[in-house]
Structure 1
Amino acid sequence: MLARKGYAYRLVATLTVVFLSPIVFFGLPTRLAFSEWFIEFEYSRDNFPKDRYGMEEDVRKHLAKLGLRAVLSEEGMEEFKRARLPDGRKAFRYKEIKHMEDVKSLLGFFFPLTYIASAVSLLALLSLRDLRLMGKVLVASSLFSLFLSIGIALFSLINYELAFELFHNYVFDPYSWRFRYTDTLLRIYPMKLWYDGTIFVLISAGILCIASLTVGIFILRYRRSS
């Protein structure tokens, strides 16, 4: 009976680590990308598209950072709602504000989930108390997330606009995130920024997976040699 309980516990712990691993490996780089340094980096690149309607780069970058703060805090959202263009007009329409509120709600769920998944995965891994099994679980979870990231990367490289559309239709109302070319959100966050952000997250996730895989293989080899 005790042996069966031990097996069941190890199985649950193993599955927990494996199936939470994509949340951890994708969630941490996503949180890193939602930072002002990424906006600074994108706007500093020579191939970053200019605004087709002539908005100054400093204004665009200021509003882009304001939008970032809006999806991360209540104070930022209130400031975002009050934002004005240089000519005094409101920077964002109601539909744009509503979408950013939807993004804020999504991130307000996803980022805490990432932190919780990271902690739970670590505890589940350590609870196995068997180096060989821990190594196997690290290898399995790393490969699972790595193959997933490779699949998403290939899909994004083949047709990023379709990948972008499918993702947004899945997490948002299909009509809530489509805007006019003249809307400020599209002017401060061109598709180039989202494409680069996606590539950054996927590459970072791949690096984390490979690092975790390397640790798992090292543990297995160490266990065999001891």
Structure 2
Amino acid sequence: MKKLFSALSILVTLMIPFLLMMGAIRILLNPFYLDYEYNLSNFPADPFGFTTADRLHWGKISLDYLTNDQGIEFLGDLKFADGTSFYNERELSHMHDVKDLIQTTLKIWYACLAAFLLLLIWSYVQKWSEVFWRGVARGGLLTVAIIILVLLGTVINFDTLFRDFHAIFFTGDTWLFYVNDSLIRLFPEKLWSDAFTFMGIFTLTGAIILGFGGLRGAHNLIFEHRKK
């Protein structure tokens, strides 16, 4: 059983970065992020005429699409006041791809979260909680290393980081758009840079808490065993 518990501890270690980073992304998928971001004093104005109210209206509809169960017609039916389509075919195709990616990763996240909680409970039932918490501590340290690299990439060259991120998940140049396309007007680089920064800070904070918490939990269990 020791080998099994050690393997499960390694699994916990590998789950921690994903759980924390996806937790940050799930927070960013809420409308209040757009409320905050669009109202920043240094948020760039749209050179083609979207007001803050316009961005909030269209942006929240677009964000809702990513997490609801509607088809692409949810966005495809959007029209400007003059009757022209809000999104073109290229933008709609990309949003469909983004929705597939987000909903798939969220399902995996929920499954991992459930598995983590079940392993936590089982570790106490089967008396291997010390090994479990060591796995949590290692996961925290692993996450810290990953996030430091992400934050450095954001500070040093966000354009390269952003491009590489899209190259991993999307085919070719399907994620590139003209400056007057609605997606770029709603979600300029400033929004993404701030999102990456928030994700890094949130995940780093969680990783530090889990790292120290895991070490403390393992230490306390060792101390209790010695007392017995």
TM-score, structure 1 normalization: 0.92
Instruction: Name which of 209, 215, 226 aligns with 2:213.
Output: 215
Question: In the alignment, what sits opposite 1:103?
Answer: 98
Say whether 1:67 aligns with 2:62. yes
Structure 1 position 130, deviation (Å): 2.8
| Mapped partners of 2:101, 2:160: distance in 1 | 21
| Paired amino acid for 1:137 | G
Q: What corresponds to 1:143 in structure 2?
A: 141
User: Residue 34 of structure 1 is aligned with which of 26, 29, 34?
Assistant: 29
> Mean Cα displacement is larger for which, 197-206 or 79-88?
79-88
Does 2:52 align with 1:57? yes
Q: What whole-Å deviation, never above 9, does each CA across 1:117-138 have from its counterpart, x for those lacking one?
A: 1121232344332343233222
Match of 1:153 among 134, 151, 166: 151
CA–CA distance in structure 2, aligned partners of residues 103 and 92 of structure 1: 15
What amino acid is aligned across from residue 23 of structure 1 in structure 2?
A: F
Moved more, 41-50 or 205-214: 205-214
Where do 1:156-195 residues align within 5 Å? Answer: 156-195=154-193
Match of 1:197 in 2: 195
* In structure 2, distance between residues paired with 1:147 and 1:11: 22
Tell me by how many angstroms 1:79 deviates. Answer: 2.8
Structure 1 residue 224: Cα displacement = 4.3
Deviation at 1:11, TM superposition (A): 2.0
Q: CA–CA distance in 1 between the matches of 2:35 and 2:106? A: 22
How many positions carry a matched residue from both structures?
221
Report the Cα distance in structure 2 between the residues aligned to 1:126 and 1:209, rounded to whole angstroms: 21
Amino acid at match of 2:93: K
Q: Structure 1 CA distance, aligned partners of 2:219 and 2:68?
A: 46
CA distance in 2, matches of 1:11, 1:74: 39
| Partner residue, 2:122 | 127
Where does structure 1 lack aligned partners over 5 or more consecutive residues? 1-5
Confirm or deny: 8 A CA contact 1:71 1:77 kept in the other structure: no
CA RMSD of aligned residues (A): 1.6
Is the contact between residue 5 and residue 128 of structure 2 (CA under 8 Å) also seen in structure 1?
A: no
User: Partners of 1:189 and 1:177 in 2: how far apart?
Assistant: 13
Residue-by-residue CA offset, 1:165-198 (whole Å, 9 max, x unaligned)? 0110110012211001110100000010011111
Q: Is the 8 A contact 1:25 1:209 kept in 2?
A: yes
CA shift for structure 1 position 218: 2.1
Q: Which amino acid aligns with 1:78?
A: E
How far off its partner does 1:76 sit? 7.2
Q: How far is the alpha carbon of 1:80 from its aligned partner?
A: 1.5
Paired-residue identity, %: 24
8 Å contact kept, 2:13–2:138 = yes
Q: Which moves more between the two structures, 154-163 or 94-103?
A: 154-163
- Contact (CA 8 Å) 1:21, 1:142: kept in 2 or not? yes
Match of 1:86 in 2: 81
When the two structures are superposed, what TM-score results if normalisation uses the length of structure 2?
0.91
